[in-house]
Structure formats: structure tokens, C-alpha cells
Amino acid sequence: MTLIKSISGIRGTIGGNVGDNLTPIDAVKFASAYGTWIKQQRDKDSYRVVVGRDARISGEMIQNLVMNTLVGLGIHVIDLGLSTTPTVEVAVPMEHADGGIILTASHNPKQWNALKLLDAKGEFLNGEEGAKILDIAESNDMQFADVDSLGKITVNDAYIDLHIDEVLDMDLVNVDAIKKANFKVVVDGVNSTGGIAIPLLLERLGVHPVKLYCEPNGQFPHNPEPLKEHLTDLSKAVVKEHADFGIVVDPDVDRLAFMDEKGEMFGEEYTLVACADYVLSQTPGNTVSNMSSTRALRDITEKHGGTYEASAVGEVNVVNLMKKNNAIIGGEGNGGIIYPELHYGRDALVGVALFLSLLAEKKMDVSDLRASYPNYFMSKKKIQLTPGLDVDGILNAMETKYAHENLTTIDGVKIDFADSWVHLRKSNTEPIIRIYTEAPSQLKADELADRIISEIKAIANI
């Protein structure tokens, strides 16, 4: 299946058959449903939607289709052109818009693209809102504007700079200390819009950026997911340039990972840990991450006198729990920093500014900073189940088996042991159970995952 419709948007591969891939007809259909939903939210004379895209090859084509579909619905469009996911999120309230669309398939390879949908606050839609848009798309219940009521497209390419202005204005970004530190940083922009935004931010902070794959042409030089095995060129460049550290983002710049001065990964999970450590040291409070993220965030939060809580997986779930708990920082273990002082969305620019502030104030190497945090190791595996198996029944059986342990069941089954945990989640699209574990060593994390897999196979008789 290469066209995936979900409450958070629609994504698929370019080309192929209508309904099976992300074709122009599918893009128009879904944009029409979203625009119709926007107009149903409130009765007013005019509507505005912000649209931006990452640099992938199909982006311009999909953006033109989406924007002109909205025009056909009588909706005015603010065209940000090449942008980032957090930039569009920031732009929606600044423009007093009714919503926003980001055209990006995030860390997926270049043949993929997607429509990510925002509400009037610049935040991702909740499940009920997303389901409504899917219903509209399936029913074709859309009414387009007459010739005198068509929308207009206004180009505004200033928003990356405006986004950077907002980041630099945050109270905890210590611009003076960063400038005095005279950092040198290698940036892997994976030939997308991070190659525009991150070097611009660094230059404003007095940091010398060494650009690696920062040409926004959509020709990803490696798998765009910011994992260690994809970042050998960044590792070599950091060492060769005698840089203080390296930065890598995904194509739409909502995920952030660092590499230390030795060319070793800081760890995507620890991006949030470090940023939270800095924020909590200045403004004590609570934190939130999803259930599949490292326990180190809980440890750091409690060290600073705050309370940590875990949400179901998914950015909208993290945001909802952050609002409920008045969390001052949160995010996801995939390098997603959510700092509500600016907005409720994962934002690599915010993460870079907070991390640089932390480094400038601590005056220590990145490797030493990483060594100062609790050390945990993760294993991420999956078990393929035969179609027809009762996945919920298997998870219920595991819940019963470990009823004497600390259990959380808001999203699959998470079992918290004294020095480790395991999180079991079923896939929504295929008969798979995902098995994430964390422990004090890689060996123990892998052994725990293998043990759980064996227990599941025994329950399922496979």
C-alpha cells in the first residue's frame, strides 16, 4: 500500500494509479476535503490557509495543485514556498489564518510526499477532526466557489527569517553567550529546507556553519532519516573540520540530532534530554514525552524537581498531555523538541538554539555533556504475525502475564521494570507488533526484546 490516509493527513508515493498512490487527483481530492472542513469551522466572509513545502522533487507540483484547489474553494492562500514544518506552524497564527498545509513526507525517501494538516492554532489536527476530513473526501461533499469568489495566492518568502526572529527572542536563548563561544558546527541539511534554515539561524547566533548537503534540490544524498548508519559523511566532516559538533535534521526540519566533536552520535533520544536539562535548570516544571522515548527524560526532570509523564505515541498526543500537565518542554525521542513558549510543535530550530545555549553556559565538549546524562540503550524490533491472529488478544495476554509490574495501557502495553522497560504496540496497517525496549546496556535491551518476542510467539502458537 503506497497511499496512506490517516487522521494526520495523506501520504504516498508519486505516480501510479489513482487511489493507490499520491497522484494529482488524490492531492486535489484531499486538499478539497481539507478546504471544505476549514469553511465548516466558522461562517465568515473570507478564509486564509498557509501552505509551505520541503525541497523534495515533487513538492512544487503538489503545492501548485493544493494551492489552486484551495483557490477554487474561495480560500486565500499564503504561499511560503520552500519552508519547514515548524515555520508553517509558526506562520499560521502570525497570519491569523484558518489553517495550514505542509507538503512533506518527513523522513521518507524522495519518491514519497504528503499533506500534513494544521488547525487555526498552527497545530496538528486531532483524531476527530482528521476523521471528518477523511469522511468529506470519501463522500465528495465539496462545493466550489463561483468565478467572482475565487481565492487569491499571496507569496511570502520571509517566514524562515521571521521564524528565526521568534527563536532568538525566546527568553532562554542566550545569544550573547553563544556568540562569545565562537562555535564551529557542521550542518547536514539532507538537501532540503534544513539546509536553508539551520545555517541562517547559526549565522544569526554568531556560529560558523560548515554546510554539508545544504542545497535544497530534493536529491537526498542518503536515507533522510537522521540515524547513525546514514550519517557517515557528517561524522567524517565533523572530525576533518575540527568542529565543535554536527547537526542533522530531517527534510522538513522537525527532527533534530547531534553528533559530538569525535564524530559519534549524541543520540536522537538525548536531543530532548539535553534541551530539557537546560530549560528545567532555568525554569523548573514538568515534562512529557511519548511512551517509546527514553527514561532519561524522567530522570532529568525529577533531578530538577519536576514531574514527568508519558503520552501515547504521536505528536498530537504529546501536545495534549503537555497542555493538560502544563509541561514547559516535551517532545518525542526521535529528536522532536516541543517548547510551548514559541509553539506546540516539534521544532529543530528551537532545539538548536536551546542546545547551543546549554553548551555555551556549561563550557564543555559535547561528548562530556552526553556522558553527564543517565546512560540507556534501546532496541527496536517487530514481530510479524500471520493474518487473522487476534493481536489485541495477544496484547491482553501479555498485560495479564505482567499484571504485577508497573503497566500502562493507553497505547498498547508498556511494562516498566526496575531498570528497564518494554513497549508493545500493534501496527494499524499490517499484522505486526512493534517491540521497543530500553535497558542500561545494549545487550540487556536486545535480550529483553528477544525474551518478549519468544513469549508472544508462545502465546500465539507461532
How far is 453 from 444, CA to CA, in rounded Å?
Answer: 14
Closest CA to 185 of 250, 248, 97: 248
Residue labelled with grid coordinates 505482567: 402
Would you say 62 and 101 are in contact if contact means Cβ atoms under 8 Å apart?
no
> Which long-range contacts (C-beta less than 8 Å, at least 24 apart) are formed by 318-324?
318/288, 318/289, 318/290, 319/123, 319/124, 319/344, 319/345, 320/126, 321/288, 322/288
Phi and psi at residue 216, to the nearest 5°: -80, 70
Q: Is 101 exposed, middle or buried (0-12, 13-18, 19+ CB in 10 A)?
A: buried
Q: Name the one residue in this structure whose C-alpha cell is 488478544.
A: 393
Distance separating alpha carbons of residues 64 and 437, to the nearest angstrom: 43
Strand 184-188 to 245-249 pairing:
parallel
Is 106 annotated in the active site? Answer: yes
Per annotation, catalytic residue among 106, 192, 293, 357: 106
Q: Which helix (H) or strand (E) holds 77?
A: strand 75-82
Q: With beta carbons less than 8 A apart as the criterion, state whether 275 and 355 touch.
A: yes
The grid coordinates listed for 18 are 489513482
Residue 31 and residue 70 in contact, taking contact as beta carbons nearer than 8 Å: yes
C-alpha–C-alpha distance, residues 254 and 274, integer Å: 16
CA–CA gap between residue 300 and residue 85 (Å, rounded): 28
Measured CA distances, 288 to 242, 303, 340, 418 (Å): 35, 15, 12, 20
CA angle 447, 449, 450 (to 5 degrees): 65
DSSP structure class, residue 14? B
| Residues with active-site annotation | 106
